[in-house]
């Protein structure tokens, strides 16, 4: 039903306009008590065997919404209503910014992919912090906060900008993510180099600890799929050295190989997400797990279209998995289908729990 609706309605609309329209419907539904209860029962059935502990947090399952969909923390309960076990908001920057000029979001339907050059359009960390502070949760869900650099802030002053956001947002975050891997903010990916990343992550860790004294806010870093293998290893080693809680692999890619869509679309600048990212994202995840093992939590994202994709990420080393682009194509039953398929695969596997399955294939390959 949704796929027909998408083909007849959403696919004919500007992608960003369609996003805002769907987003509005989700938010409105979550505000109506009877409707949200009905939708949650239909779209977010719980599978006890999928219960997950990660980052010191308990979750209904391992499958969450990746950053980029709810940039301003306005639909957390709506996304939980649709079945996502955790919701990562953002990317949030130190100061509000409109993002890049429109048109800046493109559907590559033939590739089941998106290209975006949104440019971290968001209300800024002060406004988002105020919104999170005022929020009265309807559904229990883990909320991650993804932070990035304000575009006008020079690269040399990036750490101070991230610290500003950390001081405002850490107390409202179940976990915090440092995003240094979007291709849409000039110079941002330069911060992935370990000589830049070490002081940045150290400053954010210190700010989080200084701001939130009653608990430790888990800190993760999100990396690009376009890193060379040796750079992936360097980030993995740095994460262990600094005592980071996790790595999210991966963000969007600037690569365009093997696409089926017209050149008028594939030639657009920005980050490519969705199915074409699947193979490289999985490779990076395997490499990370081979390097860090169980010492830190890995989050797999990029091209997760269905339960099989999520299961392969778990076997490769991901404790948590996230989706975004496939949600645009699969619709409101996306999370339900992933959960149902994951439960079936776990029950048919030799593993008693999801935790036992994490990294199983990568360990076998190394043996």
Q: Of 313, 283, 312, which is closest to residue 299 (Cα–Cα)? A: 313
Q: Is 182 a catalytic residue?
A: yes
Does 120 belong to an annotated binding site? yes
Does 252 belong to an annotated binding site? yes
User: What is the residue extent of each domain of the chain?
Assistant: 2-366
For each of the chain's 367 residues, which pLDDT tens digit applies?
788 777 877 788 999 999 999 999 999 999 999 999 999 999 999 999 999 999 999 999 999 999 999 999 999 999 999 999 999 999 999 999 999 999 999 999 999 999 999 999 999 999 999 999 999 999 999 999 999 999 999 999 999 999 999 999 999 999 999 999 999 898 889 999 999 999 999 999 999 999 999 999 999 999 999 999 999 999 999 999 999 999 999 999 999 999 999 999 999 999 999 999 999 999 999 999 999 999 999 999 999 999 999 999 999 999 999 999 999 999 999 999 999 999 999 999 999 999 999 999 999 999 8
Identified catalytic residue from 125, 165, 182, 261 = 182
Strand bridging mode 113-116 / 105-108: antiparallel
Determine the CATH number of domain 2-366: 3.20.20.70
Does 71 belong to an annotated binding site? yes
Q: Of 67, 60, 34, 29, which is closest to residue 45 (Cα–Cα)? A: 60
Q: Of 255, 241, 317, which is closest to residue 283 (Cα–Cα)? A: 317
């Amino acid at each position: 039903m949704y796929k027909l609706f998408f083909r007849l309605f959403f696919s004919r609309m500007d992608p960003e306009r369609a996003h805002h329209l769907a987003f509005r419907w989700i938010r409105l539904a979550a505000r109506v008590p009877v409707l949200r209860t009905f939708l949650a029962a239909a779209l977010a059935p719980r599978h006890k065997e999928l219960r997950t502990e990660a980052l010191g947090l308990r979750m209904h399952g391992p499958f969450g919404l990746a950053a980029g969909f709810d940039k301003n923390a306005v639909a957390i309960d709506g996304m939980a209503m649709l079945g996502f076990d955790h919701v990562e908001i953002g990317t949030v920057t130190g100061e509000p910014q409109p993002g890049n000029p429109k048109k800046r979001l493109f559907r590559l339907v033939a590739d089941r992919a998106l290209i975006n050059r949104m440019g971290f359009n968001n209300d800024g960390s002060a406004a988002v912090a105020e919104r999170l502070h005022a929020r009265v949760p309807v559904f229990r869900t883990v909320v991650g906060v993804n932070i990035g650099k304000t575009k006008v802030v020079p690269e040399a002053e990036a750490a101070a900008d991230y610290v500003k956001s950390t001081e405002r947002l850490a107390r409202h975050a179940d976990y915090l993510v440092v995003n240094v891997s979007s291709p849409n903010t000039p110079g941002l990916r330069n911060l992935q180099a370990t000589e830049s990343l070490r002081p940045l992550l150290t400053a954010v860790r210190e700010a989080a600890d200084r701001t939130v004294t009653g608990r430790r806010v888990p800190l993760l870093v999100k990396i690009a799929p376009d890193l060379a293998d040796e750079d992936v290893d360097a980030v993995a080693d740095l994460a262990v050295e600094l005592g980071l809680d996790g790595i999210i692999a991966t963000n969007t890619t600037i690569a365009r190989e093997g696409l089926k869509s017209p050149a008028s679309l594939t030639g657009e600048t920005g980050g490519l997400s969705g199915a074409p990212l699947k193979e490289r994202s999985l490779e990076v995840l395997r490499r990370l797990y081979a390097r860090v093992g169980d010492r830190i939590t890995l989050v797999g994202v990029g091209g997760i279209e269905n339960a099989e994709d999520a299961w392969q990420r778990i076997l490769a080393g991901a404790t948590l998995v996230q989706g975004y682009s496939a949600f645009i194509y699969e619709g409101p039953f996306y999370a339900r289908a992933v959960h149902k398929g994951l439960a079936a695969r776990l029950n048919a596997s030799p593993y008693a729990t999801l935790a036992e399955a994490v990294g199983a294939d990568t360990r076998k390959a190394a043996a």
